[in-house]
Amino acid sequence: MLTLKQEFFKRESISVAKDLLGKYLVREIDGVNIIGKIVETECYLPFIDPAAHSFIRKTPRTAVLFGEAGYSYVYSIHKYFCLNVVCEAINIPGSVLIRSLEPIQGIDFMISNRLKGNKRNLTNGPGKLCQALQINKKLNSTNLVSDLSELKITEGDFVPETQIVTTTRIGISKAQELPLRFYIKDNEFVSKLKK
DNA sequence: TGATTGATGAGCT
DNA sequence: GCTCATCAATCAG
């Protein structure tokens, strides 16, 4: 499977968020590939988005958001980790949060990483997918467009525009009204619908 | 099946 | 000290 080019991420983060649906997230552990298809994303805009970690100012934690596109931003929230992809040009801190995956390969491995391991609950949430794929802070600032990385994003399945659903974001306290969450219609691995 | 709630720890002020 | 882009257990119906 072909790894994406950096140019893919050097665009408006909102376009990247939509186009990432259907792509494959590949985690390599001891030479074995663990693969999930991206079925749900959220976009965090540069400068104007109060919900973005980069909003207030650049800090040691958020510095990677201001760096090269195509790199990972892994942060901890409560007890868990979440995975973002840095987009746009240097010093333009747009990013895309990977919210849920459809398990493709290495499902037994994912189950062994999670306490309650039924297939549907494996990767349908940002904290859950990081547990399943063993994504932690050591993978912060990883180059996701290099074949040499142990975490990368490759070409996957084509998703037609008509299969993409747009809603508001989940779990945030600011700018809740912005329609920046995208997921694949009718996919059973999308995280819980918002009410 | 859906809504509510408590546990939880890092990062920032 | 307070915030928070979460999860899983719990409870009501």
By C-alpha to C1' distance, C8 is nearest to: A116
Which nucleotide minimizes the distance between its C1' and the CA of A73?
A: C5
Q: Is nucleic acid strand C under 7 Å from A55's C-beta?
A: no
Q: What is the pLDDT of residues A14-33, one digit of tens each?
A: 999 999 999 999 999 999 99
- Segment A91-111 shows an average pLDDT of 97
Unique residue bearing structure tokens 């459809």: A102
Q: Which pLDDT value is given to residue A187?
A: 94
Per cent of chain A over pLDDT 90 is 93
Task: Give A1's pLDDT tier (boundaries 50, 70, 90).
Answer: confident
CA A1 → C1' B7, Å? 40
CA A47 → C1' B13, Å? 21
Q: Is nucleic acid strand B under 7 Å from A136's C-beta?
A: no
- Asked if the model's pLDDT at residue A194 lies above 50, the reply is no
CA distances from A80 to A20, A135, A136, A138 (A): 23, 10, 9, 14
Distance CA A80, CA A127 (A): 5
DSSP designation for A29:
E
- Asked if the model's pLDDT at residue A94 lies above 80, the reply is yes
- Cα torsion through A154, A156, A158, A159, rounded to 10: -90
Q: Which pLDDT value is given to residue A193?
A: 53
Determine which helix (DSSP H) or strand (DSSP E) holds A103, and give its type and residue range: strand A94-105
Q: Which pLDDT value is given to residue A195?
A: 38
Which nucleotides of chain B have an atom under 7 angstroms from any protein CB? 2-3, 7-13
Q: Residue A155's CB: how many other CB atoms inside 10 A?
A: 13
Global pTM value: 0.95
The pLDDT mean for chain A works out to 95
Task: Give A116's pLDDT tier (boundaries 50, 70, 90).
Answer: low
Residue A142 has which token pair?
């990883």
Residue A1 has which token pair?
């499977």
CA A136 → C1' B7, Å? 20
CA A174 → C1' C8, Å? 25
Annotate A139-148 with b (16+ C-beta within 10 A) or e (fewer): bbebbbbeee
Q: Which pLDDT value is given to residue A50?
A: 96
CA A69 → C1' B1, Å? 41
Which nucleotides of chain C have an atom under 7 angstroms from any protein CB? 3-9
Q: Is nucleic acid strand B under 7 Å from A76's C-beta?
A: yes
Q: What is the pLDDT of residues A37-78, one digit of tens each?
A: 999 999 999 999 999 999 999 999 999 999 999 999 999 999
Q: Which pLDDT value is given to residue A119?
A: 76
